[in-house]
Amino acid sequence: MSLVFSKNGSTPGPDSPGVWRAAVSGASGTLDFSGIPKGYYYAAYLAGGGSLEISARLPFSVGTLISTLSLPAATLPQGKPFSVQFSEGRGTPKDWVGLFKAGQTPGVDVLTAYLYVGGRTQGSVTFDLPDLPPGEYFVTLFINDSYTEVSPRAAFTLTGDEPLKVSDAAVNGRELRLRWRSTPGRTYVIQKNNGLAAEWLDVRTVMPADTFHEEILTVDATAEPRVFFRLMRP
C-alpha cells in the first residue's frame, strides 16, 4: 500500500507524472514529503500495486497565488470581445474570473463583470462587453464563489477609438501608400469608389499590430482614371 500526493486533474497511477509516492505500513503514522512545487494537490491511499484508490481524496495546496491568468495584450480595443486564459486552477465547481476597475477592492467594491470557469483547472473565458467604457481594469481568479484570489492580477487598458485620420497618403507610379495611427488588434477596411458605382467597394481588410500602420495599394490610372479611397472601422 502507498500514500501519494498528486496534482489536481491527474490520476495517481503507478507511472503518472506529477505524483509523489511513499510506501506505508501499519494503520497509522506520519510521512514527510519535501520538494513539492506550488500547486493544487490531493492525497490518497493506493493499493493493488499502486493502481487502486482505497480512500477518499484529501485536497490541499502548496504556496499562494498558485493559478495564472493572461490576456492577449496589455492594451485592448473597446467594444470587442477578449479572452482570459487561466491555468493551474483549483477546479472547484464555482471558481470564477472577476473583472474590476483599477484601484477597486474585490469583496468591497462592486465588480464590473464575472464569468465562471466551469470547474476547469485550465482553459479560457471570453468577456463580451461592448458597452464597457475605456479605462484601466484588472482580472483575477477567485475560488468557489468566494473573494479569495488565487492568481496574480492581470492588468489591462481598454482604449477607445481615436478620430480616424490618414496621416500620410502618397502616389508613386502605380503605388498608393496610406499611413494612419492605429489601435493594435482593431480591424480597418480600405474601400474605393470610382465615382460611377453607387457603393463603396472593400479593397483590403487589415488588423494592425502597432500604433501606426502603413498599407501599399496598386492603382491603375489607365483602367481607373478617377478613383477615390477611404479608410473605415467596421
CATH code (residue 220): 2.60.40
- Domains in the chain, number: 3
Domain final residue pick, 116, 135, 159: 159
CA quadruple 23, 28, 29, 33: dihedral sign: positive
C-alpha cell at position 85: 486564459
The four Cα atoms 54, 56, 57, 58 give a dihedral, to 10 degrees, of: -120
β-bridge mates for residue 20, sequence order: 5
Cell 482553459 found at? 123
Based on the domain organization, do 99 and 31 belong to the same domain?
Answer: no
Based on the domain organization, do 171 and 212 belong to the same domain?
Answer: yes
What are the backbone dihedrals phi and psi of residue 56, each rounded to the nearest 5 degrees, phi first? -70, 150
Q: How many CB atoms sit inside 10 A of residue 41's CB?
A: 23
Per-residue pLDDT of the chain (234 residues; tens, 9 = 90+): 777 777 777 776 655 555 666 777 766 777 777 778 888 888 888 886 666 888 888 888 888 999 999 999 999 988 899 999 999 999 899 999 999 999 999 999 999 999 999 999 999 999 999 999 999 999 999 999 999 999 999 999 998 766 788 899 999 989 999 999 888 888 999 999 987 666 899 999 999 998 899 999 999 888 888 889 999 988
Based on the domain organization, do 90 and 130 belong to the same domain?
Answer: yes
Based on the domain organization, do 173 and 218 belong to the same domain?
Answer: yes
Q: Put the strands of the sheet holding 82-87 in their side by side order.
A: 68-70, 82-87, 123-127
Based on the domain organization, do 154 and 96 belong to the same domain?
Answer: yes
Range of the domain at 130: 68-159
Based on the domain organization, do 172 and 155 belong to the same domain?
Answer: no
Based on the domain organization, do 172 and 221 belong to the same domain?
Answer: yes
Cell 483602367 found at? 223
Based on the domain organization, do 55 and 73 belong to the same domain?
Answer: no
Based on the domain organization, do 148 and 173 belong to the same domain?
Answer: no
What are the backbone dihedrals phi and psi of residue 82, each rounded to the nearest 5 degrees, phi first? -145, 150
Based on the domain organization, do 95 and 150 belong to the same domain?
Answer: yes
